[in-house]
Structure 1
Amino acid sequence: MRTSYLFTSESVSEGHPDKVADQISDAIVDLFLSKDPEARVACETMTTTNRVVLAGEIRGKGIMDEDGNWAEGVREEIERAVRETVKRIGYEQSGFHWDKLDFANHLHPQSAHIAQGVDASGNKDEGAGDQGIMFGFACDETPDLMPATLDYSHKILQRMADDRHSGRAPFLEPDAKSQVTLRFENGKPVEATAIVVSTQHAKGYDEGENEAELHTYVKQVIADVLPANLITANTVYHINPTGSFEIGGPDGDAGITGRKIIVDTYGGAAPHGGGAFSGKDPTKVDRSAAYAARYLAKNIVAAGLARRCTIQLAYAIGVSKPLSLYVDTHGTGSVGDDQLEAAIGKIDKLGGLTPRGIRTHLTLNKPIYGATAAYGHFGRKAEGDLFPWEKTDLVDDLRAALA
C-alpha cells in the first residue's frame, strides 16, 4: 500500500440537480414506508427546468393495487412530497420553483416476476431484490472512520447550506460543489494542496466587493472545517473558477437519481458495486447490503482490528444467502482477513447477511431515507432511527468471535 501520495474527493450540495433527484426519490420511499413497512419501491426522478418526472415500480398496502389503481389521496400526497422537498432545499427561482414546476408521475406496479423472486413463500426465505456486488469501507483517517478528503468535502457544503438556510450567508443559492485534495505521508493526511468550491450565488456576487465577500466567506468556512495543520502556505484555492454561477440547479443541468454514487459512498477511496441507493426500499440489496458492508467494515476498524477495511458482498436475485463475503484490510489488519470472514459468519444477530437478516438487525423498514440523500450515506451520526449502520455495536461480537 502506498504511504505518500495525493488523493482527491468531491461532494455536491443538496441543491445539485442530481441530489435534488435523489432527495425526491427518497422522499417517496419514506412516504410509502410510512404507509406500509413492507412496501416495494424503485423510484427514479428526473429534474430539469421547472419540471420533475417520477418513474419506477412500486407495491404496497394503502398505496397501489396490482392493477395500478392508486389508493385514495396517494397521488396528491406524492406531489405534495415532491414540492415540499424542493421547497425545503430552497428553490424559488424562475427556472426552478417548488410551486410552479410541472410534475408528472409515471410510477406503476412492480413486476410480478420480480415479486415472486423477492417475496418469502412456503419454505423459501425472502430473496435479494436484484443480483449484484456491494462494497463497504472504513479507515482511521477521521473520527467518523471515513476518507478525510470526502469527509471535509461534505462538511464544507453542509456548513454552507446551514448558513444559507439560517440567513447568515444570504448571497448563497442552493447549488454547489466542493473538492478537496490532500497530501498523505505514511498513510496520514498532512496538507491540503488544493480546495475547490463552486457555489451558485445571488446576482452581482461575481464581481467587485461582493465577489470578494463571497471568497472571504468560503475561505473562512474551509478554515473552520479542516484541521488547522492541513491549511498551509502551499494550499491553493479555486473558488468559483468559472467566474459566474447564477444559473444552477435543475435549470442549469438536468438531474437524475443515482448519478452521484461516489459522492454517496467513499469519494473514490474504495470500490463501488455500481448500484445506486436512493429511491429503493431495503429489500434492494444495492442499498441494504451496502449499508451492511459499511457496518461491518466500520466495526472492524473501530475494534482496532485494522486501520483500513474493504468488504464485498455478492447476491443473486431471488436468493436469500449472499454468494460471497470478502474482507481486505490492505495489510493493516492485526488478524488475517480470512479470520475476519470466519468471525463475521459466527455472529448470529446478522442473520447470515440475508436481505431479511440485514433489514431486521439494522431496522431498515422505516421512513429514514430522506436524511441519507445529501452529504453522504456514511460517516453520519447514528441517532434515533437514523443511520443505524453507523453504530459500532459489533465490536465486542467481533472480538468474541475471534477469541
Structure 2
Amino acid sequence: MKDKTILTAESVTAGHPDKLCDTIADTVLDCCLEHDPNARVACEVLATAGKFVVAGEISALTIPDISSIVRDTVRRAGYNCRDFDVEVLIHPQSPDIADAVADSGQAGAGDQGIMYGYACSETENLLPLPVVLAHRLTALLTCARTMGRISGLRPDGKAQVSVEYVFGAPRRISAIVLSCQHAEDKDLSQLREELLEFVIQPALRIFPADEDTEIFINPSGRFVLGGIEADTGLTGRKLMVDTYGGLAPHGGGALSGKDGTKVDRSGAYMARCIAKNIVAAGLAEKCTVALAYAIGRADPVAVDVDTHLTGTYSDKLLEQAVRCFFDLTPAGMIHTLQLNQPIFADACNYGHFTRANLPWEQTGQAGKFAELCAQLDHGDGGG
C-alpha cells in the first residue's frame, strides 16, 4: 500500500445534458412499470440543441406519451426552452430476447456481462469519501438554484473532489473543482462568494477543507452557454458518476433506461447490496463483489468476492455464503430489490448508491449473513 495517494471523483447536476437524458430514460421506464410491472424497457436518449431523440425497445401493456415525458423532464430540470423537436423511435423487444427472459422463476438474464459492487467503511453510506463529497456538492448546487439561495444559477454543473489518503485512510481534501452555468449578467466574484457560503462549506461539513485545499470555481471563467444548448447529452455516459467515481471496477454496462431483467442494472445493484451488507456486518473494511451472467441463463456463471485483505473470513468462504444467502437469478434480484416498481427516476441523479431508502442500499440482512458465515466457518452450514 502506498503511504500517500490522491483519489478523485466527480459528480454532475441533474441539469447536465447526459444526466438529463438518463432522467428521461428512467422516467419512461417508471411510467411503463406503473401500468405493467413486467414491462421490458431498454430506452436510450440523445439530446442536442433543438432536438431530442428517444430510441429503443419497449414491450409493455401501455406505452407512455414519451414526447410529454421529455418536455416535462426538461422543464423540471430547470430549462425554460420550449422550442425543440422530440423524435421517438421505439419498437418492441426482440422475441428471441423476450423468450430468454420469459416471466418465470427461472427467467434468464437479458444479456451477458460482468457487474461490480463496492462498499467501504470510510463514510456512513459505505462509499469512498471523494464520491460522497462530489455528490454533496452537486446536490447542494442544484438546491441553491431551486431554493433561490443563489440568483442567476442555471441547471448545468459539475463538481470534482480530490482527497489525499495516507496509508489507505482519507487525511485531507487536496482540491475541489466546481463549475456551474450562470446568467450572463452574474458577477463572478459574487458568485464565488455565494458558492463558498451556500454550497462548498455545507457540503464539506462531514469532512472540512483546510487552508491548503485548492478550490477552483469555474476555472475556465464565464460559463453562460451550457446544458443542452451547448453540449450533446446521451444516456449511459456518466457511468463513474453513477457508481464509484472510478475508484472501484466497472463492467461497462450503463444503468438508466433498463428494466430489471437487464443484469447491467439488476446485477450492479445486487453486487452493491452484497458488498454493503458484508461491510455493514463488520466482515470487511472494504469489499468488491463481481457477478457475471450469460444471456438466457438464470444463475450467474461467476461470483467473486474480494475484501482486499481486510476480511474477517476468507474471500472463498464469503463467496460460498453469498451463493447460499442471496438469490442471484434475475427474477430473484428483481423481487429482492423491488425492481419492478417505478423507483428509478428518483435514483438516477447524484449517484445510484447514495440514498439510504433505496432497496439495494438496505443492510437489514447483514446480521443474518454474518451468522451464516460463522456457521460455514465451523463447518455446520451451507447448502
Name the TM-score class by shorter chain: over 0.9
Q: Does 1:218 align with 2:214?
A: no
Map of 1:116 onto structure 2: 99
Q: CA deviation at 1:271?
A: 0.4
Counterpart of 2:142? 161
**Aligned match of 1:199:** 180
CA separation in 2, counterparts of 1:394 and 1:229?
Answer: 29
Superposition misfits of 4+ residues, deviation over 2 angstroms: 1-4, 227-230
Among 254, 268, 283, which residue is 1:276 paired with?
Answer: 254
Mark the runs of 5 or more structure 2 residues left unpaired by the alignment. 375-383
In 1, Cα distance between equivalents of 2:11 and 2:230: 18
Offset of 1:187 from its aligned partner? Answer: 1.8
- The Cα offsets for residues 141-175 of structure 1, whole Å up to 9 and x where unpaired, read as 11110111011001011011011111111221000
Counterparts of 1:47 and 1:31, CA distance in 2: 20
The alpha-carbon deviation at position 4 of structure 1 amounts to: 2.3
Match of 1:294 among 272, 287, 291: 272
Please give the secondary structure, in 1, of the residue aligned with 2:10.
strand
How far, CA to CA, are the matches of 1:317 and 1:228 in structure 2? 43
Query: Which residue in 2 is equivalent to 1:395?
Result: 366
Which residue number corresponds to residue 378 of structure 2? Answer: none
More off after superposition, 183-192 vs 250-259: 183-192
Of 107, 118, 124, 2:90 maps to 107
> Which sits farther off after the overlay, 82-91 or 218-227?
218-227
Change over 3 Å in CA distance of 1:3–1:30 after alignment to 2: farther
The alignment's TM-score, normalised by the length of structure 2, stands at 0.95
* Structure 1 CA distance for aligned equivalents of residues 228 and 148 of structure 2: 23
Q: Distance in 1 between matches of 2:10 and 2:51?
A: 27
Which residue is 1:372 aligned to? Answer: 347
State the SS of the aligned residue for 2:156. strand
The count of aligned residue pairs is 373
Cα distance change on mapping 1:3 and 1:337 into 2, 3 Å = farther
Shift of 1:101: 1.6
CA deviation profile, 1:250-274 (whole Å, cap 9, x unmatched): 1111000000000000001100000
Q: SS state of the match for residue 346, structure 1?
A: helix
Matching of residues 218-257 of structure 1 within 5 Å: 218-220=195-197, 221-227=199-205, 230-257=208-235
User: Given the two structures, how large is their TM-score scaled by the length of structure 1?
Assistant: 0.90
Alpha-carbon shift at residue 204 of structure 1 (Å): 2.2
Partner of 1:175: 156
Give the letter for the 1:251 counterpart: E
Q: What one-letter code is carried by the residue in structure 2 that aligns with 1:195?
A: I
After TM superposition, the structure 1 = structure 2 runs for residues 33-182 of structure 1, keeping only pairs within 5 Å, are 33-63=33-63, 74=64, 77-92=65-80, 97=81, 99-120=82-103, 125-182=106-163
Q: State the match for 2:243 in structure 1.
A: 265
Counterpart contact for 1:149–1:181, Cα < 8 Å = yes
Task: Indicate conservation of the 8 Å contact 1:120/1:127, yes or no.
Answer: no
Residue identity opposite 2:101 in structure 1: V
C-alpha deviation, 1:346, in angstroms: 2.0
Correspondent of 2:320 among 342, 347, 357: 342
CA distance, structure 2, for counterparts of residue 396 and residue 335 of structure 1 = 15
CA distance in 2, matches of 1:101, 1:23: 18
Cross-structure match for 1:7: 7
What is the rounded CA distance, in whole Å, between the counterparts of 1:325 and 1:377 in structure 2? 22
Residue in structure 2 matched with residue 67 of structure 1 by the alignment: none
Matched, 1:30 2:30: yes
Give the direction of change, closer, same or farther, for the CA distance of 1:374–1:229 in structure 2 (3 Å limit).
closer
Q: 1:228 to 1:309 in 2, by over 3 A?
A: closer
- Quote the offset at 1:228 in angstroms: 6.9
Distance 1:234 1:23 in 2: 37
Describe how 1:313-352 pairs up with structure 2 within 5 A. Answer: 313-347=291-325, 350-351=326-327
For residue 186 of structure 1, report the CA deviation from its aligned partner: 2.7
Return closer, same or farther for 1:61/1:104 CA change in 2, 3 Å cut-off: same
Cα deviation for residue 185 of structure 1 reads 1.5
Quote the Cα distance in structure 2 between the aligned partners of 1:168 and 1:230. Answer: 21
Q: In structure 2, give the amino acid aligned to 1:368.
A: I
Larger mean Cα displacement after TM superposition, 111-120 or 317-326: 111-120
| Partner of residue 70, structure 1 | none
CA contact (8 A) 1:190 1:230 kept: no
Residue equivalent to 1:360: 335
Q: CA RMSD in A?
A: 1.3
- Asked if structure 2 preserves the Cα contact closer than 8 Å seen for 1:190 and 1:229, the reply is no
The sequence identity of aligned pairs, in percent, is 47
> What amino acid maps onto 1:335 in structure 2?
Y
Structure 1 gaps of 5+ residues are 64-73
- State the one-letter code of the partner of 2:17: P
Post-superposition CA distance 1:52-104 (Å, at most 9, x none): 110001101233xxxxxxxxxx4xx2221111111110001xxxx1x322111
What secondary structure does 2:99 align onto? helix
The aligned counterpart of 2:381 is none
Change (3 A) 1:228 1:259: closer
Which amino acid in structure 2 is aligned with residue 388 of structure 1?
A: P
